[in-house]
Amino acid sequence: MRLHDRWRAGVLSVVILIVFLGLWQIATLPKTTAQVVDDEYAKLVGAAAATGQKSTFPTPLDVGHKLVLAISDPFYDKGANDKGIGIQMAWSMGRVCLGFGLAALVAIPLGFLIGMSRLVFNALDPFIQVLKPISPLAWMPLALFTLKDSSVSAIFVIFICSIWPMLINTAFGVASVRKEWIDVARTLEVSPWRKAIFVVLPAAAPTIMTGMRISIGIAWLVIVAAEMLVGGTGIGYFVWNEWNNLSIANILVAVFLIGLVGMVLDLIFARLQKAVTFRD
């Protein structure tokens, strides 16, 4: 029965996709009636646009064609403004991994410290509450000013946006480890280090992993915007560059791939989350 339901959901998904692509195709069909436009405007925008033979928004087929092109040769490099989408994606991924990794290295130990002590938790809470809602991009000018390097600044922005969910979740997970497990460790005279690694960490791991999953999602959202600002390389810069080239089809290809990579990242962390979750 469950398998049957899955099949039905799958079929429905395909139907929705076909309807969506069909509507898109109809909406972007070349218009047959010649439009009358101002002569001066025609000179300005070029013949095709002026006569209105074709809508500038690409059809699904155009995008599909570009997608095949982009995927068939993802790693070419023909200078600063013409790199394959694989290379751009790799740049973005590298920045996300570095920023996210550094944030994890800071947030998890710090979160442990905060979670272990009510005093530290209460003392740091106002700072965290103020810093957390700041858009990571608001840090960008400060990062550029102090770090004086656009690439490092992008990594810093990823760092600062992924640190909060991990910090808060680690602190919360550590603070809410069941008292009976701590009592067991106490009666066994377990050293603080051993307690942290064998009792507190596994007990808090599901909560910590949830924080990491939220963080990686935010980091992937923010990297596109950050790279639009700093420029040079990355999928965000690619989107911005294609906008300047007025290549809507390429932008759509990039948008689709950004979504796909984001989904894969989330799936990886969902797996990790499942691996550390224990049944009580």
260, 138, 157, 270: CA torsion to nearest 10: -40
For other proteins, give the closer residue by CB, 149 or 183: 183
Nearest approach, Cβ of 182 to other proteins (angstroms)?
10
DSSP string, 143-200: HHHHH--HHHHHHHHHHHHHHHHHHHHHHHHHHTS-HHHHHHHHHTT--HHHHIIIII
* Interaction residues for other proteins, span 225-254 (CB under 8 A): none
**Residue 203 engages other proteins in binding (rule: CB under 8 A):** yes
Q: How far apart are CA 117 and CA 123, in angstroms?
A: 10
Nearest approach, Cβ of 203 to other proteins (angstroms)?
8
**Residue 260 engages other proteins in binding (rule: CB under 8 A):** no
Contact call for residues 211 and 170 (beta carbons, < 8 A): yes
Contact call for residues 236 and 226 (beta carbons, < 8 A): yes
Stretch that binds other proteins, among 78-86, 93-101, 124-132, 197-205 (CB under 8 A): 197-205
* Interaction residues for other proteins, span 87-106 (CB under 8 A): none
Out of 202, 232, 263, 270, point to the residue binding other proteins (CB under 8 A). Answer: 202
Stretch that binds other proteins, among 57-65, 69-77, 120-128, 193-201 (CB under 8 A): 193-201
Stretch that binds other proteins, among 50-58, 91-99, 194-202, 230-238 (CB under 8 A): 194-202
- 279 by Cβ neighbours in 10 Å (0-12 / 13-18 / 19+) ranks as exposed
Query: Which residue's entry shows tokens 């640190």?
Result: 163
**Residue 24 engages other proteins in binding (rule: CB under 8 A):** no
For other proteins, give the closer residue by CB, 248 or 276: 276
1 is written with which tokens?
């029965």
DSSP character at residue 149:
-
Out of 127, 133, 189, 193, point to the residue binding other proteins (CB under 8 A). Answer: 189
For other proteins, give the closer residue by CB, 44 or 184: 184
Q: What angle do CA 80, 219, 76 make, to 5 degrees?
A: 25
* Interaction residues for other proteins, span 42-81 (CB under 8 A): none
DSSP character at residue 199:
I
Q: How far apart are CA 225 and CA 161, in angstroms?
A: 12
Q: What angle do CA 100, 158, 212 make, to 5 degrees?
A: 35
For other proteins, give the closer residue by CB, 190 or 255: 190
| Per-residue binding letters, 159-188, with other proteins (x by CB under 8 A) | ---------------------xx-xx-xxx
Q: How far apart are CA 14 and CA 112, in angstroms?
A: 46
Positions in the binding site for other proteins (CB under 8 A): 180-181, 183-184, 186-190, 194, 198-199, 202-203, 205, 278-280
